[in-house]
Amino acid sequence: MREIIFDTETTGLSPLAGDRMVEIGCVELVNRVETGRTFHAYFNPCRPMPSGAEAVHGLSDIFLSDKPLFEDQVEDLLEFLGDCPLVAHNASFDFGFLNHELGYCGRPLVCLTRMVDTLAIARTRHPGAKHSLDALCTRYGIDRSLRIKHGALIDAQLLAQCYVELTGGRQIGFSLATDTVEQRNEATDRAAPAETIVVQIRTPRPHAPSEEELVAHAAFLDSISDPIWHRLEARS
């Protein structure tokens, strides 16, 4: 099964407020295995980049000024996306911007039935835990050292690894779990017998006090004024 993991970077949080997509990164999976095929593009948003958004992804007005418009790259993007499921983290956000850009240039919108949200999956798999991309990478031991700032392609690549773990682990797509019960039983029968463990019982060591220790203990008791055990003896 073919799936596309994707991530976007934008000028802000709401396309309805005029925010635009400035970057998209896509990673192709087939049977939960990365094929090595990716799609990555920057877009000129035709509007100033807010400082808060630039602090997140590092994409400045100067950097984006010579980049193509979304409509200039849309054909290549749609060809790469095809008609397979599209996987994103907090997918409604990325789908919102993708469909806004498609609608802006007169293209059909991506059907929401294709949407797979890894944030929803993570909340089901790990209730009560942190579900950010960084938190998932930490949980699954995925190296994110190259993620200095948010970047659409590197985030999509990290999310692809998290998605594999969230949906069953790295074993998916390989033949590691195809052995039948009978084959595993046969392997167990052929295994070498377990080594017999011999427990050596040792004679208990003496722990009685020496004569010097008894004398020292008696002297210590005599040094105690009005000991409680004398009061107990008087009551009896």
In-domain check, residue 187 = no
Separation in Å, CA 176 to CA 100, 172, 190: 42, 8, 20
Q: What is the pLDDT of residues 16-59, one digit of tens each?
A: 999 999 999 999 999 999 999 999 999 999 999 999 999 999 99
Rounded CA separation 212/46 (Å): 95
Residue 225 falls inside a structural domain: no
Position with higher pLDDT, 177 vs 160: 160
Side chain identity at residue 221, one-letter code: L
Dihedral in degrees, nearest 10, Cα atoms 101, 105, 108, 109: 10
**Which tens digit of pLDDT belongs to each residue from 202-229?**
666 666 777 888 888 888 888 888 777 6
Task: For the chain, give the percent of residues with pLDDT over 70.
Answer: 81
Say what angle helices 91-104 and 118-125 make with each other, to 10 degrees.
170
pLDDT digits (tens, 9 = 90+) for 122-155: 999 999 999 999 999 999 999 988 777 789 999 9
63-118 confidence digits (pLDDT tens)? 999 999 999 999 999 999 999 999 999 999 999 999 999 999 999 999 999 999 99
Whether 140 maps to a domain, the answer reads yes
Categorize the per-residue pLDDT at 184 as very low, low, confident or very high, splitting at 50, 70 and 90: very low
Q: What is d(CA 119, CA 131) in angstroms, rounded to the nearest whole number?
A: 7
Residue 166 half-sphere exposure toward CB, CA atoms < 13 A: 26
pLDDT bracket for residue 235 (50, 70, 90): low
C-alpha angle 213/214/219, rounded to 5°? 95
In the DSSP assignment, the letter for residue 13 is: S
Q: What is the pLDDT of residue 217?
A: 82
Residue 167 pLDDT > 60, yes or no?
Answer: yes
Distance CA(146)–CA(234), nearest Å, equals: 80
Whether residue 226 lies inside any domain: the answer is no
What pLDDT does residue 50 have? Answer: 96
- Neighbour-count burial of 5, counting CB atoms closer than 10 A to its CB (0-12 exposed, 13-18 middle, 19+ buried): buried
The encoded tokens of residue 21 equal 């997509």
Considering the domain boundaries, does residue 87 fall inside one? yes
In a domain, 178, yes or no: no
Closest by Cα among 52, 27, 49 to 40: 27
Q: How many domains does the chain have?
A: 1
Residue numbers of the domain that contains 159: 2-166
User: Could you tell me the CATH number of the domain that includes residue 108?
Assistant: 3.30.420.10
Active site residue 207: no
pLDDT at 176 over 90: no
* Residues 111-121: tens digit of each pLDDT: 999 999 999 99
Per the residue annotation, which of 57, 150, 207, 217 is the catalytic one? 150
pLDDT of amino acid 183: 44
pLDDT bin (cut points 50, 70, 90) of residue 196 is: low
DSSP type of residue 81: H
In a domain, 182, yes or no: no
Residue 43 lies in a domain: yes
Q: Could you report how far apart the first and last alpha carbons of the chain are, in Å? A: 87
| Average pLDDT of the residues of the chain | 86
The 3-class SS string of 87-103 reads EECCHHHHHHHHHHHHH
Q: What's the rounded Cα separation, in Å, for the pair 123 and 48? A: 35
Measured distance CA(88)–CA(77) in Å, rounded: 16
pTM greater than the 0.85 cutoff:
no
